[in-house]
Amino acid sequence: MSTTSLTGCSVLLALVALPAAASVETDYAFKADISVVNQTSGDFGLLGRGNATQAYLDATPWAHFQFSPAWSGFVRARLFAPTGTVQTNANDNNNLGPTDQTFLGLKEAWIDYAGFKYPGESIRLGRQRIREDDAMYIDQDVDAARWIFNTTLVQSEFGIGREFGTYRTDDIGLPPDQKHRTYVYGTLSREWRAYQRVGVRAIYVHDDNNLPQTGAITNVGTKLTSGNLLWMGAFLNNHYFDGADAPPLAYNVSINWLSGNQRAALIDPVTRAVTGVTDRRVSHAWATDVGLRYRLPVEKFPLQLGAAYVYSSGGNGRDQSTQYSQTGLQSNYSRFTGTDSFTQRFTDAYRAELGNIKVATAYASINLGRWNTSLIYNHFDRVHNNAPVYADNIDVVPLNNNGSLGHGYDVVVTRFFGGRIAHTDLLTGDEPASSIRLRGSVFQPGAAYGNNLRTEYRVSLELVLWY
């Protein structure tokens, strides 16, 4: 953990803790997530690796301090203890990847000032969870300063953020794409009619690192790009991501554009030495997401049927200027099936990232009080057969120019129990009730990866207890 990170944490924790000792309203809770995971190794059998079963404890206590009507603070820590190398189930810093390390970490530590004219308006400073409903732009703990305006009709926020470190005792570094990166972002949406929301959003990224010199030897943690990128988007929905509270007929439409410029170091794949630098202009890169869901009007069996389609542009040959990519802060976990369970949008055993892929999705779900179930099918294709694709749970790349990436099948069954904990509005990326959940996911590779390959799977049983 860097000196900058430690100093920032110390200042924030002091700001939160000192006033609390004097007095004020304090709420706290403790979450324990105990999971057992069995999964294949993500190589389709090409690298000779098999499957493995691991378990982990992911405990996250938090405390909320109300110093006065205007001032509040929040601290959330984390203890993670696995039996071996394992990836977590949910959207908690998903892009850091699997780990076999036990560690303590700091998830959030912020102060908030809300002494403005409008209820729902505040300024928040510190390490905080920033999330949007679809989780395809932002769903991450980030060191940030942001202005929040959240009323019944209007929702907006603007902020600046930068990840200074992971704040973990195992000293794992940030993913390369998040190093030396500053974010300026904003979103503005309005309820133009009851349950009809329209909005715009944007994220500007500045990578200020110096590229390694020609001849330098790099490692897997070296950042190999610098430059500036701008994502701009618009969306229209009727509370599609509100889980069980969504309307019977729910829809979501979003479109996003990416532009900018990047410099990238070229690496020899054998020696990992820098062989040169290339400049890349990003233009006309875009992605769109369309979803529709209908709940049958049968009170005893409220079955929901839905379909969605995602398209994200890809480069063509050596010209990568139209290749779309996500911000690096996304998790792709959301309530898109109409239940209160967060579910991976692009097959849990595959976990695709947007960029040069198109995904057709069909699903069915049902809410039966405290029970909910989702069945999801995804079909993945490449946009350009000679451009790259990325998936977090797969360690190999396509071997030929075939367009078919494969098929994904997911089932998520959840039983909630106990009461909801306080301050659920502060836990935007979490489920504020105890539960037991079974996740099963299968990815069947397509012809792009070759023939006669092993099907990948991931199965987990998860017990979440709130105290």
List, for residues 60-116, the tens digit of each pLDDT value: 999 999 999 999 999 999 999 999 999 887 666 544 678 899 999 999 999 999 999
Q: In whole angstroms, what is the distance from residue 357 CA to residue 315 CA?
A: 11
CATH code for the domain defined by 3-466: 2.40.160.100
Amino acid at 380: F
| Average pLDDT estimate for 116-144 | 94
Residue 308 clears pLDDT 90, i.e. is over it = yes
Tens of pLDDT, residues 174-197: 888 889 999 999 999 999 998 899
Mean pLDDT value across the chain = 91
| Average pLDDT estimate for 227-245 | 96
Predicted local confidence at residue 462, as pLDDT: 96
pLDDT grade for 22, boundaries at 50, 70 and 90 = low
Predicted local confidence at residue 442, as pLDDT: 98
Residue 275 clears pLDDT 60, i.e. is over it = yes
Neighbours of 260 (CB within 10 A): 18
First to last CA, the chain: 30
In 42-153, the DSSP E strands lie at 51-66, 71-82, 103-113, 121-131, 139-150
Residue 217 clears pLDDT 50, i.e. is over it = yes
| Average pLDDT estimate for 391-410 | 94
Predicted local confidence at residue 348, as pLDDT: 96
Residue 312 clears pLDDT 50, i.e. is over it = yes
How far are the Cα atoms of 189, 195, 196, 241 from residue 238, in angstroms, in the given order? 12, 5, 4, 9
Predicted local confidence at residue 176, as pLDDT: 87
What percent of the chain clears pLDDT 90, i.e. is strictly above it? Answer: 72
In 50-102, the DSSP E strands lie at 51-66, 71-82
pLDDT grade for 369, boundaries at 50, 70 and 90 = confident
Rounded to two decimals, what is the model's pTM?
Answer: 0.91
Amino acid at 391: A
Q: Are 225 and 208 in contact (CB under 8 A)?
A: no
| Average pLDDT estimate for 35-52 | 93
DSSP codes joined into one string, 433-460: SEEEEEEEEEEEE-GGG-SSPPPEEEEE
For residues 122 and 195, which has the higher predicted lDDT (pLDDT)? 122
Please state the domain extents for the chain.
3-466
Q: Are 284 and 246 in contact (CB under 8 A)?
A: no
**Range scoring the smallest mean pLDDT among 10-14, 253-257, 405-409:** 10-14
Predicted local confidence at residue 93, as pLDDT: 54
Within 13 A of 218's CA, how many CA atoms are on the CB side?
23
Q: Are 90 and 333 in contact (CB under 8 A)?
A: yes
Predicted local confidence at residue 21, as pLDDT: 46
Residue 305 clears pLDDT 50, i.e. is over it = yes
Residue 153 clears pLDDT 80, i.e. is over it = yes
Tens of pLDDT, residues 282-297: 998 999 999 999 999 9
| Average pLDDT estimate for 398-407 | 94
Predicted local confidence at residue 184, as pLDDT: 97
Cα torsion 114, 117, 120, 121 to 10°: value is -60
Handedness of CA 332, 335, 338, 339 (dihedral sign): positive
Q: In whole angstroms, what is the distance from residue 431 CA to residue 340 CA?
A: 8
Q: Are 275 and 214 in contact (CB under 8 A)?
A: yes
Q: What DSSP state is assigned to residue 390?
A: -
Q: Are 267 and 218 in contact (CB under 8 A)?
A: yes
What pairs with residue 39 in β-bridges? Answer: 52, 458
Handedness of CA 91, 96, 97, 100 (dihedral sign): negative
Predicted local confidence at residue 193, as pLDDT: 92
| Average pLDDT estimate for 140-166 | 94
